[in-house]
Amino acid sequence: MLMICNPPLEKELTPEEWQAAMAPYVPYMEFIRASGKFVDGDPLHGVSTATTVRVRDGKRLITDGPFAETKEWLAGYVIVECDTLDEAIDLAAPCPATADGCVEIRPIIDIS
């Protein structure tokens, strides 16, 4: 899984700002699909929509927002099927998020 992390937004984006922000991802996703490795992927809503759930001593603790203050937040994901880490790196490197954020690559465990 390619976990796309961006710096936090200063404010909620208007539909026009969202469209402009997503524009660089159109050719990137075309690149991913053309690789033949694409499985699934989507952007995520901002951290202001996050809810974090913990259970401590049998009690649910619900908080608004992400689990921790961070300099980057999980903005989306792309699931790719690669034979090697190098293949995944080659797919992650062109992602627009790598310019001011990062793409974290994590293998998915198949528990079927």
Select from 4, 40, 33 the least CA-distant residue to 21.
4
End-to-end Cα, the chain, rounded Å? 17
Q: Bridge partners of 3?
A: 77, 104
58: number of Cβ within 10 Å:
5
Q: Is the separation of the CB atoms in 101 and 72 below 8 Å?
A: yes
pTM: 0.83
Q: What is the pLDDT of residue 81?
A: 96
pLDDT of the residue at 6: 87
Looking at the predicted structure, is the pLDDT value of residue 69 above 70? no
Beta-carbon count within 10 A of 40 CB = 9
Instruction: Tell the CATH superfamily of the 2-105 domain.
Output: Dimeric alpha+beta barrel (3.30.70.1060)
Rounded distance between C-alpha atoms, residue 88 and residue 1, angstroms: 9
pLDDT of the residue at 48: 78
Per domain, the residue ranges of the chain are 2-105
Give per-residue pLDDT as tens, 9-57.
777 788 999 899 899 999 999 999 999 999 999 998 877 788 888 899 9
Output the pLDDT for position 8. 76
* Coil/strand/helix, residue 99: helix
